Amino acid sequence: MTGLYGGTGLHLAVALEGVGWHPAAWRAPDARPADLFTARYWADLAREAERGLLDFVTIEDALTPRPSGRLQGGLDAVLVAARLAPVTGHIGLVPTTDVTHTEPFHVSIGVASLDFASYGRAGWRPRVSAGVREAGHFGRRRASAAAPPGRIASDADLNAEAADAVEVVRRLWDSWQDDAEIRDASTGRFLDRDRLHYIDFEGPYFDVRGPSITPRPPQGQPVVTVLADSPPAYEFAARGADVVYLTPDSRAGTGAAVSRVRAAEAAAGRGGEPLRVFADLLVFIDDRPGAAAVRKARLDELDGAGPASAVEVFTGTAAELADLLEERLDAGLTGFRLRPGVLPHDLTGITRRLVPELQRRGAFRTAYRETTLRARLGLSRPEGRYSAPAAATTGGGS
Amino acid sequence: MPVRQVHLAAHFPGVNNTTVWSDPASGSQIDFASFVHLARTAERGKFDFFFLAEGLRLREMKGRIHDLDVAGRPESLTVLSALAAVTTRLGLAATVNSTFNEPYEVAGRLATLDHLSAGRAAWNVVTSYDAFTGENFRRGGFLAEADRYTRAAEFLQTARELWDSWSDDGGAEGEFAHSGRHFDIAGRFGTPRGPQGHPVIIQAGDSAEGREFAASDADVIFSRHGAPAAGRAFYADVKRRLPRYGRHPDELKIFPAVTYVLGDTEEDAAERAADIRRAQVGPETAIAYLEGVWGRDLSAYDPDGPLPDVEPDLDEGVSKGRAQFRGDRGETVRRWRTLAADRGLSIRELVIEATGRQTFVGTPRSVADRIDEFVQTGVADGFIFVPHLTPGGLDDLVDHVVPLLQEKGVFRSDYTGTTLRDHLGLGPPRGAVRRAHAEAVS
Ligand SMILES: Cc1cc2nc3c(=O)[nH]c(=O)nc-3n(C[C@H](O)[C@H](O)[C@H](O)COP(=O)(O)O)c2cc1C
Question: Residue B174 sits in a domain of what CATH number?
Answer: 3.20.20.30
Position B1 in a domain: no
Check whether A360 has a pLDDT greater than 80.
Answer: yes
Question: Within this chain, do residues B331 and B374 fall inside the same structural domain, yes or no?
Answer: no
Do both B31 and B167 map to the same domain? yes
Rounded to the nearest angstrom, the gap between the alpha carbon of residue A213 and the centroid of all alpha carbons in its chain is: 24
CA B318 to chain CA centroid, Å, is 24
Query: Is residue B70 located within the same domain as residue B22?
Result: yes
Neighbours of B409 (CB within 10 A): 11
Q: Which residues constitute the domain of residue B308?
A: 282-354
> Measuring from atom 8 of ligand 1, which residue has the nearest CA?
B53
Residue B272 belongs to some domain of the structure:
no
Looking at residue A392, its pLDDT comes to: 44
User: Where is A245: in which H helix or E strand?
Assistant: strand A243-246
Q: Do A75 and B116 touch (CB under 8 A)?
A: yes
**Beta carbons of B26 and B390 less than 8 angstroms apart:** yes
Least confident of A91-95, A145-149, A198-202, B222-226: A145-149
Q: Is A2 annotated as a binding residue?
A: no
Integer Cα distance of A94 and A205 in angstroms: 26
The answer, yes or no, to whether any atom of ligand 1 lies below 6 A from the CB of B324, is no
Return the pLDDT at B167: 84
Residues B363 and B319 reside in one and the same domain: no
Mutate to test the pocket of ligand 1, among B128, B222, B225 (most ligand atoms within 8 A of CB): B128
**Final residue of a domain: which of B334, B354, B374?**
B354
Q: Is residue A6 part of a domain?
A: no
Same domain, B67 and B30: yes
Question: Looking at residues A202-227, what average pLDDT do you find?
Answer: 97
| Domain match, B185 and B223 both | yes
Assigned domain for A259 exists:
yes
In a domain? residue A1: no
Instruction: Identify all chain A residues contacting B185, using CB atoms and an 8 Å cutoff.
Output: 136-139
Cβ–Cβ of B112/A70 closer than 8 Å?
A: no
Cβ within 8 Å, pair A213-B72: yes
Per-residue confidence (pLDDT) for residue A58, from 0 to 100 = 98
Q: Position A1: which residue type? A: M
pLDDT of A65 strictly over 80: no
Residues 6+ apart with CB under 8 A from B306: B340, B346, B347
Residues 384-423 of chain B whose Cβ lies under 8 A from any Cβ of chain A: none
Cα–Cα distance, A280 to A269 (Å, whole number) = 26
Distances (CA, A) of A19 to A279, B121, B176: 21, 25, 25
Identify the pLDDT of residue A261.
97
Query: For chain A, what is the domain count?
Result: 1
Interface A-B: count of C-beta contacts within 8 A? 198
Q: Based on the fold, state whether residues B105 and B217 are members of the same structural domain.
A: yes
pTM strictly above 0.90:
yes
The pLDDT value given to residue B442: 44
Does residue B255 sit in the same domain as residue B119? yes
Domain that holds residue A29: 11-393
Residue A27 is given by DSSP the state G
Does a structural domain hold residue B269? no
Q: What is the mean pLDDT of residues A389-397?
A: 44
Task: Give domain status of residue A398, yes or no.
Answer: no
Same domain, B144 and B240: yes
The pLDDT, as a whole number, for residue B112 is 98
pLDDT above 90 for A187: yes
Q: What is the pLDDT of residues A146-166, one digit of tens each?
A: 899 999 999 999 999 999 999
CATH of the domain at A138: 3.20.20.30
B354, B370, B398 - which closes a domain? B354
Over range A179-195, report the average pLDDT: 97
ipTM of the complex in this document? 0.96
Residues of chain B with pLDDT under 50: 324, 432-442
- B16 and B114, same domain (yes or no): yes
Residues B368, B399 share a domain: yes
Grade residue A211 by pLDDT with cuts at 50, 70 and 90. Answer: very high
- Which residues of B are less than 8 Å from A176 in CB distance? 72
Instruction: Give pLDDT, residue B322.
Output: 67
Q: Across the interface, which of A80, A189, A215 has its CB nearest the CB of B68?
A: A189
Given an 8 Å threshold on Cβ–Cβ distance, is A137 in contact with B69?
A: no
User: What is the pLDDT, as a whole number, of residue B365?
Assistant: 98
- Check the annotation: does A61 bind a ligand: yes
d(CA B204, CA B186): 29
pLDDT at B173: 82
Domains: count for chain B: 2
Contact A211, A199 (CB under 8 A): yes
Q: How far apart are CA A57 and CA A14, in angstroms?
A: 5
Q: Is the pLDDT of residue A239 over 80?
A: yes
Instruction: Using CA coordinates, name the residue in chain B closest to A188.
Output: B68
From B32, B78, B191, residue closest to A75, measured CB to CB: B191
**Smallest Cβ distance to A73: which of B117, B135, B192?**
B192
Looking at the domain assignment, is residue A2 inside a domain?
no
In which band, very low, low, confident or very high, does the pLDDT at A310 lie, cut at 50, 70 and 90?
Answer: confident
B113 close contact with A: CB closer than 8 A: yes
Residue B331, pLDDT score: 92
| Residue B320 is assigned to a structural domain of this protein | yes
Same domain, B363 and B350: no
